[in-house]
Amino acid sequence: MIFDSLRDRMGGNDKITPMAIAHNSLFTAREKLDLLHQLKSDVTGASQEGKDLGFDAEEIDLAIAEVRQGVQDGVGGDTVIKGDF
C-alpha cells in the first residue's frame, strides 16, 4: 500500500519494541531517548506489579545504548522529514 502507517511499518499493533524505537527514523535522538526512558519506567513499574510487557529493562538499556552510539557516530540528530536520511 502506498500510504502505510508507522504502525504497519513496525509490524502491526503488537510489534513495537525498544530496538524498533531506537532505529525509527521519524524520531530525533532526543525523542527516542525520551520514549525509551518512559518505557523503562513503565516496564519497571509493571514488573513490580507482576505484569509482563514483552520485554525487559535490559532490552531497553540496549536500545538506549544504540541511540547514544548513533549520536556519537553523527546519526539521528534530525528526523527523516528534515533530511537526515
pTM over 0.85: no
Confidence at residue 51, expressed as pLDDT on a 0 to 100 scale: 83
pLDDT digit string (tens) for the chain, length 85 residues: 444 555 555 555 556 899 999 998 889 999 999 999 999 998 888 888 888 878 889 999 999 999 999 888 887 666 555 544 4
Residues contacting 52, CB < 8 A, separation 6+: 46
Cell of 11: 509490524
Check residue 84 and give its pLDDT. 46
Q: How far apart are CA 17 and CA 2, in angstroms?
A: 24
And the C-alpha cell for 50? 507482576
Q: Which residues contact 71 (CB under 8 A, 6 or more apart)?
A: 29, 77
- Residue 83: per-residue pLDDT: 47
